[in-house]
Amino acid sequence: MKRLFFYLFCFVIALSADAQNSPVLVAGNIKTVNIEKQKITFQTDHAYGEITIFSPSIIRVRLDKKILGNDFSYAVVMPPQQTKCSIKQDDKKITILTDSLSTTISKKPFAITFYTLDGKVINEDEKGLQHSWVAEEATAYKHMQEAERFIGLGEKTGNLDRRGNGYTNWNYDAFGYSTGQDPLYSSIPFYIGIHHGLNYGIFLDNTYQTDFNFGASNNRFSSFSAQGGELNYYFIYHKKLADIIGSYTTLTGRMKMPPLWSLGYQQNRYSYYPETEVMRIAQTLREKKIPADGITLDIHYMDQYKLFTWDKTRFGDPLAMNKKLNAMGLRTTVIVDPGIKVEKGYDAYEDGVKKGVFVKYPDSSDFTAQVWPGWCHFPDFTAVKGRDWWKEKISFFSNTGVDGIWNDMNEIASWGQKMPSNIIFNYDGALASHKQAHNVYGMQMARASFEGAIAATHKRPFNLTRAGYAGLQRYTAIWTGDNRSEEDHMLLGVRLMSSLGVSGVAFTGMDIGGFTGNPSVSLYARWIQIGAFNPYFRNHTAVNTKSSEPWSYGEEVTEISRNYINLRYHLLPYLYATFNEAVNKGLPVVRSLAIDYTFEPKVYNTQFQNQFLFGQAFLVAPFESTKDFGNIYFPQGRWYNLYNDEQEQGDTEKIIRLNLHKLPVFVKESSIVPMQSLVQTTAEKPTDTLVIHIYKGELNNSFNYYEDDGESYNYEKGDFYKRNIIYDAVKKQIVFDKVEGSFKSKFTKLKVVFHGFTAIDKINAGKTLKDDFLSFLNPISRFDPQGTASPIEGCKVKSVILENISTRFEIKY
């Protein structure tokens, strides 16, 4: 008997030794548990863990092979919400129940399964793998469900459905990237899984390099891992995918209303200089009646590429120039890079050294690398001191009449693209190596620029970034970097914006026409049409390329460009209200069809994956400019051709003939689309009539029309104009609800335009309106009542003009 106990003891010791010596360290069994309100802390054989109920729909999981450290995040801004829940345990498991989901934590071994309230598995750890470490890399393995799809991860190339692929988050200066290159400039470690009529989100909040595997080189699991730090992830479950995005943006914050001018057309180039060239571009835009709101200056505006300077030879009086541009209704955006040139006598360098704001080596010397100005130091934007220094310096631009800041090269980019790992960052007092701070650096630079511009002007700034991390939407718009003038890059840009939208970023754009190379005439024409439906409408091209203004490609393309830019300006009331939806609900402007049609398989078909919704109403179907025909998938419902009101039934495919003059665009049934008269700039006031287009349908719908002053944050104090417009297909009525907010609308009349209706019986506004308030027009030019050139043909519809209507009223049909 003693001998048997001896052998058993030796066997247990051997197992323990094997576990310690194994190259893979597994979390093991739960040994101790402590439950306190909404938090469970526990210890396993080889790890320490914590599970927190963040809300009825959000469960947070933390796990590390050492005692959990400081709970700090650059991404998460929402604290745990007081939640009605039940937590129970027995010898085998711990069970968490909220009014949205059920979570089971098995103890032997530690593993998590998330269920619907009726017992369906939403997501579960892969049995036998669960959670483990290889050296410092921590990985969570999830069972890959049958036919499971994966979308999201922000700025990632490839297909909409990411199954079968792996991805890395490490912000990278990807000049002229290929359509399959990974990683790119920004890192958003958030994805959505879809299977069996269910969808869920997982956000891995870890700023080290993170890697995601959705069945790449394996048929067993999906996984996510971090090269350092703890496994710290948030599991989100809702029945609707849109609500998952809503919860994710509640966690990581939502954007504020952008300045209205930033939604207008922006003319960019690397580079416009000297001042005479800038003014030539501005004057040509106005002479050719191409609406525009901005001109962007690249690095050649600076004195030898030194930040916080102007080249006095090229721009003798930048403030006077910017005032002239403002008088023309144009705002100036300038590029800023983080590299501060090492040069005696250069104010920013001298002041930065004196105040100790630059990132450093372990021996306390300032890190130096080469960028455009030569050898540079780099402000530590992860330090309060560094951000405050930058915020003070950024006032230089507002003092010279600049309205927009374009944060570039902030991955951090430097020649050689190999920053040492041993650089020390403050990381808001926690101290971190480059490995931990790299992915968050660009976001913190954008944050400092955003906060500095607000402090200097007390107005909404336009802020743009190339690099970022989860939560970047709180501070900045983002564009997709140095793309190529190629057909597949145009379509890739659409998918990148769709994926960024799924990942919580609503204000996105791409370089129209492509940054590197020279687009063909047809490619440029198609690209600018698509650009009219981009949240950030930016035309841009590189140095040593052909000029890429709309008039550079001949009269036909000039007319196409003008038509679609005109359409963009007609649509500004719709677009501005859609941005307000992003502010309030987190929904993007460019919406993958997966958001509204999650479980329609054809949405993920590669031939249809480039289609997107522009807000809630418009279905945009981009195709290469070289194609004569295109196959379009119409999701469930009924769809109106934007140009002639012809109707298409949903859940069908249709091959259409493509026309270079018209981008395929359709309007969803029951849609409500507010539009205005044509203006050449948002600084110009439209006519006093707001045109509301209503498309007959069998679906109930509503649209929150929204206005404010377009430049301040007074809307946060109630100074806005909001009106819910309701389309009730059952009662056959359209309700204009009462106005909310203290802001006075710029419009005093409503023109209601009906599409697909055969008759209008009566109009009520509490009481029947007098006949002199009504005007029927048939036919009309729908999108431009003044008859200015437009891509939209006239069609036979009825419209009603309603004067000075401010109270609630109904239209019966």
Catalytic residue positions? 408, 411, 482
Among residues 685, 720, 725, the alpha carbon closest in space to that of 805 is found at 725
291 half-sphere exposure, CB direction, 13 A CA radius? 31
Q: Dig out the tokens for 73 from the structure.
A: 């995040």
DSSP category for residue 30:
E
CA distance 587 to 670: 19
Please tell me the distance from the alpha carbon of residue 69 to that of residue 232, in angstroms, as a whole number. 11
Q: What is the residue-wise DSSP string for 707-719?
A: E--SSSSGGGGT-
- Please give the Cα distance from 371 to 311 (Å, whole number): 18
Nearest to 188 by CA among 474, 382, 549, 564: 474
Residue 439 to residues 184, 187, 215, 411, 442, Cα–Cα distance (Å):
11, 7, 25, 7, 7
Structure tokens at 595: 């958001």
* Dihedral angle sign, alpha carbons of residues 42, 46, 47, 51: negative
Distance CA 108, CA 123 (A): 18
Can you tell me the distance from the alpha carbon of 451 to that of 79, in angstroms, rounded to the nearest whole number? 22
DSSP 687: -
Using the structure block, give the residue that is written with the tokens 């750890």: 125
Residues paired with residue 721 on neighbouring β-strands, in sequence order? 707
Three-state SS for 186? strand
Rounded CA gap, 134 and 111, in Å?
18
Distance in angstroms (rounded) separating the CA atoms of residues 282 and 295: 8
Q: Cα(167)–Cα(161) distance, rounded to whole angstroms?
A: 13
As a whole number of angstroms, the distance between CA 167 and CA 157 comes to: 9
Burial of 351 (0-12, 13-18, 19+ CB in 10 A): middle
Distances (CA, A) of 493 to 148, 483, 487, 616, 714: 25, 8, 10, 20, 34
| Residues shown for the chain | 813
Residue 428's Cα: distance from chain center in Å? Answer: 25
Distance of alpha carbon 445 from alpha carbon 475, whole angstroms: 10
- 10 Å Cβ neighbour count for 528? 28
Query: How far is residue 574's CA from residue 558's CA, in Å, rounded to a whole number?
Result: 25
Instruction: Provide the sign of the torsion angle of the four alpha carbons 457, 447, 203, 231, taken in this order.
Output: negative
CA-to-CA distance for 403 and 326, rounded, in angstroms?
A: 10
- Picking from 562, 545, 491, the residue whose alpha carbon sits closest to that of residue 298 is 545
CB 506 within 8 A of CB 516: no
Angle 275-287/318-327 helices, nearest 10 degrees? 0
What DSSP character marks residue 403? -
Q: What are the beta bridge partners of residue 114?
A: 103, 123
**Torsion-angle region of residue 609: left (phi > 0), alpha (psi -120 to 50) or beta?**
alpha
Q: How does DSSP classify residue 473?
A: G
What is the Cα–Cα distance from 695 to 74, expressed in whole angstroms?
Answer: 43
> In this structure, are residues 677 and 687 in contact, taking their beta carbons and an 8 Å threshold?
yes
Q: Output the six-digit token pair for 749.
A: 């009349």
Residue 222 dihedral angles phi and psi, to the nearest 5°? -110, 155
Report the alpha-carbon distance of residue 454 to residue 441 in Å, rounded.
Answer: 20
